[in-house]
Structure 1
Amino acid sequence: MWRKLSNSEFSRNVSSQILGTGIAQALPVLAMPLLTRLFTEEDFALYTSFFAVASIFAVAVGGKYQLAIVLPKSEENAQKVFTLSIYLTLAYALAIAVVLPLFHRFFPENLRSVLYYVPLYVLFFGGWSAYINASIRHKTFTTNAIAKVLQSIGYIIAAIGLGLSKVLAFGLVIAKITGTMVSWVFLSRKSPISFKPIPLRTLKEMAKTYIDYPKYGIWPSFLSTISLQALVLILTKFYTLDDLGHYGLTFMVLSAPLTLIGNSYKDVFFQKMASLMNDQRYKEAIVFFERSAIVLFVVGIPICLVLYFFGEPLFAFVFGEKWERSGTFASILALAFVARLVISPLSSTFNATNTLRIASKWQLLYFVTTFITLLYSAMIMKLAVESLFFVYVIHEIVLYGFYFIIQYRTVKTYSKT
């Protein structure tokens, strides 16, 4: 049985995905001690602001049609959806290039120049995303894994080169775009689907067939992304570049295990929970939910304790003395990190039970309360940045605790039947 499982196509695909994602996440973290010595706090602040804004705009790239490339039965229709996604990405990036400068006045003056790179990143990210989904359609998961690793390698090499030479401003930003471009070029050469100009009138049918992707996919993703970047946006607007730069390093370091552990477990959890619910094994589902929460908690607690008690000396030793303050931020945010690590992967419960409306209501609540809390703390109370983080942690624990209760009750409802 083990031999059959380990040799199965599904197992090989999952292994390559996890391995590729793990390496891609690990490489930038391993390179960080060098990058923190090549770049200043201001460089990290500019990169953090850029990536927050770019991530928000990237939500609507391709009209979300790239996610539908996997679905058509015929290759002809898949090609049309792919082309539609590329067309929309080009138009969207151009629209951002025209419109975004009109809103530069809402950003601090020293951050405005870096925003001109946002349309370029969105353009490459949109193409990259389309090719990734084309690869998923044809089950070339190893290609995807290599592409993600190349993205990290491209970023690291470009960042080190620009950090040493100092020939260009915004080195970390340009490095991020370079890594995405390198990965995009690799995928475009390996992809079984290539870009071919197709008249727009022939794409209308596919646009209508998969209209639910832009119709119902963009807004929830936008709320989720902007909520995750809320702290960066508030720091950008109301606090110093030094505060933002130190938080930028903290965010990069904490995001790596959160992405790797959380996303990897979420996929496995979703498959198992969906299977149990489909088979109406509801009592087993609640036991599986409880055990999953315990496992994630056990994984997260040691990381939390290390950050809480040794954040400052650890960051100073690994990244350099000037980054000790980032360790202070990490020790404050450690509890919020654990809350998100434990509870976010379990959100697949709503997919498995087809109760996404409940999740969307929480997402709206989280979005509203996050911005109200942070804006009140920064604008009205004018809290110091460390105090702002303490308030943010309390908000995260309360909101994610409420999210966990909703998840648990959702599964419990089925287990009583």
Structure 2
Amino acid sequence: MKINLRTGYLSHIITLLSGTAFAQIVLLIALPFLTRLFSPADFGLYGVFVAITSILGMVANGRFDLAILIPKNEEDAQSVYKISYQFALGLFCILCIVAFAFPDRYLGEYKALIWWVPLSVLLQGLLQPATRWLLRSRSFKKITVSKIAGSVFTVGISIGLAFLDFGFEGLVLGKIGGQLVETVIAGGFSAFRFNLFKWDQAIFSTYIGFLKFSSFEALLNNFFKQIPILALSGYFGEALAGFYTLAMNVTSRPSGMVSQSVSQVFFKEGSEMEEEAFSNFFLKNVKGLFLLIIVPSLVVFLFGDVIFAVLFGKEWLQAGIYASWLIPFVLITFIKAGVSSVIDLKNKMRNNLLFEMLFVVLSLVSFTLGWWFTNADLGVILFSVFNSCLGLVQLFYFYKWSKLSSGFQ
């Protein structure tokens, strides 16, 4: 099957990107206000919360949400959707039990966060399958509506609570409020009737590879990305974790949402292609993603410290320095994320596990050396250099896998 990049595929990406861009503009416009209303330590604690919920939320559905796009008939796809919800609700119950049982004396300043973790993870677990269903039906405009609404509510709630002296909890509640709105809208668009208490063993067995391999791979992938925040907070204090959080919010979050939009359409279109067409399609996407990010990457690499000091205040100069150091990693990650669906389309979750384990090892080594030499900057630099190099190798293997036949026959 041939896809004309000048027509259908591009129009789908543009539809998603327009909503993503607007949602990111709202968040970026709000950041200069938020950095003057919340301290670096507040951002650091918020960063720890986001790190934990991101790691857990990514596997909330057992990764069955990814499989929603694969079945040819609607009934099987609905069964996969239902299994995704069942996993999300199961994890929510487990996290509630853990939050209730965990002794307060070990939590310290994180005590206020633990009760919000299960809710945030549940909302992510409900949103992911809803978004995949909208992708399956090519309802791209509905996805953009949910994203924009979520961003507006996130900003509005965070700023409002800042004036009520909520501290870092204002950022946390803003995120949860935005998640809730986005989930309600996307879930409403994709709603259909199903029996939540009925288990479909045949469908579960068909796509169990997503649970066995993709879940572990996603867990490792998110864990290695959150290691800097957790390490900086644990070894060097919340303020440095806050600088890193802002640096990544400004650099990787906008680019990440763009690459996610590309990846979502890439998955849908790629699932309908023959092997030869898909390999060429892969290369065109890599080239397009590189051209899209190279100019802003150079600007941040050269002038990151100045840009951050002007936009967010002199207190955030260190965040700009971190952003400059992290740009190579952000660039490689942006390109990989846009075409990473090749892992699932070609059933290479098991093969990709090795890369994810190496990313975790290199990240831990980076910040262990930073801790050993009492130098947080060294940890950030090594994290960026090591993982950028490994990311290039992984991207090469993505290309090799793009030439293979699908693993789902």
Amino acid of the residue matched to residue 50 of structure 2? F
Q: Which moved more, 1:335-344 or 1:147-156?
A: 335-344
Q: Give the partner amino acid of 2:379.
A: L
Worse-matched range after superposition: 345-354 or 239-248: 345-354
Identity of aligned residues (%): 25
Which residue of the other structure, out of 322, 335, 347, is the alignment partner of 2:328? 335
- Equivalent residues of 1:56, 1:226 under 8 A apart: yes
Kindly provide the CA deviation profile for residues 86-142 of structure 1, in whole angstroms up to 9, marking residues without a partner as x: 333222112012225666789772224213211010111112223223323433222
Aligned residue in 1 for 2:145: 146
**For the residues of structure 1 that align with 2:332 and 2:152, how far apart are their CA atoms?**
31
Counterpart of 2:305?
Answer: 312
- Give runs of aligned pairs for residues 45-84 of structure 1, distance below 5 A: 45-71=44-70, 78-84=77-83
User: Judging changes above 3 Å, is the alpha-carbon distance between structure 1 residues 303 and 135 closer, same or farther for their aligned structure 2 residues?
Assistant: closer
- Higher mean displacement: 307-316 or 356-365: 356-365
Instruction: Assess, with a 3 A threshold, how the Cα gap between structure 1 residues 294 and 318 changes in structure 2: closer, same or farther.
Output: same
Q: Distance in 2 between matches of 1:65 and 1:411?
A: 21
Residue range with higher mean Cα deviation, 92-101 or 63-72: 63-72
Kindly state the Cα deviation for residue 74 of structure 1 after the two structures are TM-superposed: 5.9
> 1:143 Cα shift?
1.2
Q: What's the secondary structure of 2:374's corresponding residue? A: coil
Task: Report what 1:24 is aligned to.
Answer: 23
CA gap of 1:50–1:280, structure 2 versus 1, over 3 A, is: closer
- Distance across 2 between alignment mates of 1:346 and 1:178: 30
CA change 1:11–1:331 in 2 (3 A) is closer
The aligned residue for residue 352 of structure 2 is 359
The separation in 1 between residues aligned to 2:13 and 2:304, in whole angstroms, is: 33
Aligned residues of 1:134 and 1:193 also touching (Cα < 8 A): no
Counterparts of 1:178-257 in structure 2, within 5 Å, are 178-194=177-193, 197-200=195-198, 202-257=199-254
List alignment gaps of at least 5 residues for structure 1.
none
Asked if 1:371 is matched to 2:364, the reply is: yes
- Within 1, Cα distance between the matches of 2:402 and 2:69? 30
Question: Residue 358 of structure 1: CA displacement?
Answer: 4.5
Of 377, 386, 399, the residue aligned with 1:395 is 386
**Relative to 1, partners in 2 of residues 1:320 and 1:384: Cα closer, same or farther, differing over 3 Å?**
same
Query: Greater CA radius of gyration, 1 or 2?
Result: 1
State the distance in 2 between where 1:5 and 1:396 align. 31
Contact 1:107 1:236 in 2 (8 A): no
> Aligned-pair RMSD on alpha carbons?
3.7
The AA in structure 2 aligned to 1:148 is K
For the 8 Å contact 1:135–1:143, the answer to whether it is kept is yes
Counterpart amino acid of 2:394? Answer: Y
**Helix, strand or coil at the partner of 1:333:** helix
Which residue type is aligned with residue 217 of structure 1? S
What is the alpha-carbon distance in structure 1 between the residues aligned to residue 202 and residue 189 of structure 2? 28
In structure 2, distance between residues paired with 1:376 and 1:104:
31
Q: Distance in 2 between matches of 1:193 and 1:297?
A: 39
In structure 2, what is the Cα distance between the partners aligned to 1:197 and 1:410? 37
| Structure 2 CA distance for partners of 1:271 and 1:59, relative to 1, 3 Å | closer
Q: Look up the match of 2:407.
A: none
Q: Secondary structure at the match of 2:62?
A: helix
Which blocks of at least 5 consecutive residues in structure 2 are unaligned?
Answer: 405-409
TM-score normalised per structure 2: 0.83
Q: 1:238, CA displacement in angstroms?
A: 1.0
Is the contact made by 1:108 and 1:236 (CA closer than 8 Å) also made in structure 2? Answer: no
Letter in 2 for 1:162: L
Query: Which deviates more from structure 2 when the two are superposed, residues 260-269 or residues 332-341?
Result: 260-269
AA of the residue aligned to 2:224? S
Q: Does 1:383 align with 2:382?
A: no
SS in 1 for 2:138: coil
Aligned residues: 402
Deviations 1:319-351 (A, max 9, x none): 122212211222222333334345554656666
Q: Give per-residue Cα distances to partners, 1:159-216, cap 9 Å, x unaligned.
A: 111112225760011110100101122233333415x55444x544443444333223
Quote the Cα distance in structure 1 between the aligned partners of 2:5 and 2:392.
Answer: 36
Distance 1:5 1:342 in 2: 17
Using the alignment, how far apart are the partners of 1:271 and 1:73 within structure 2? Answer: 12
Q: 1:217 to 1:298 in 2, by over 3 A?
A: closer
Task: Provide the secondary structure at the position in 2 that maps to 1:62.
Answer: coil
Partner of 1:14: 13
